[in-house]
Amino acid sequence: MRKLSGTPFIVLTCAFAMLSHAVSVGFASQQDPAEPQDVFIDSLQISELPLAFSRVSLTKIKGEFVLKLTAANSSNEELLGVRYWLLAIDSNNKVRSTVDESESLKLEAYASKEASFRPPSRLKIGNDDRVFLVVAQVIGRESIWEVQKAKEALQAYAKGEDFSMPRVLRVMNQVDSQQPPRVFPVKRPIL
161: DSSP letter? -
Regarding predicted confidence, which is higher, 176 or 156? Answer: 156
Write down the pLDDT at residue 72: 97
Work out the pLDDT band at 108, boundaries 50, 70, 90. very high
Q: What is the pTM of this model?
A: 0.71
User: If we measure between CA atoms, which residue out of 107, 59, 62 comes closest to residue 81?
Assistant: 107
Residues 6+ apart with CB under 8 A from 105: 51, 71, 79, 80, 81, 82, 115
User: If we measure between CA atoms, which residue out of 143, 34, 158 comes closest to residue 85?
Assistant: 158
In degrees and rounded to multiples of 5, residue 96 shows phi and psi of -90, -40
Work out the pLDDT band at 70, boundaries 50, 70, 90. very high
82: DSSP letter? E
pLDDT digits (tens, 9 = 90+) for 9-52: 555 454 555 555 544 444 444 444 455 468 899 999 999 999 99
Four-way CATH pick for 38-172: 2.60.40, 3.30.1390, 1.10.357, 2.40.50? 2.60.40
Task: List the domain boundaries for the chain.
Answer: 38-172
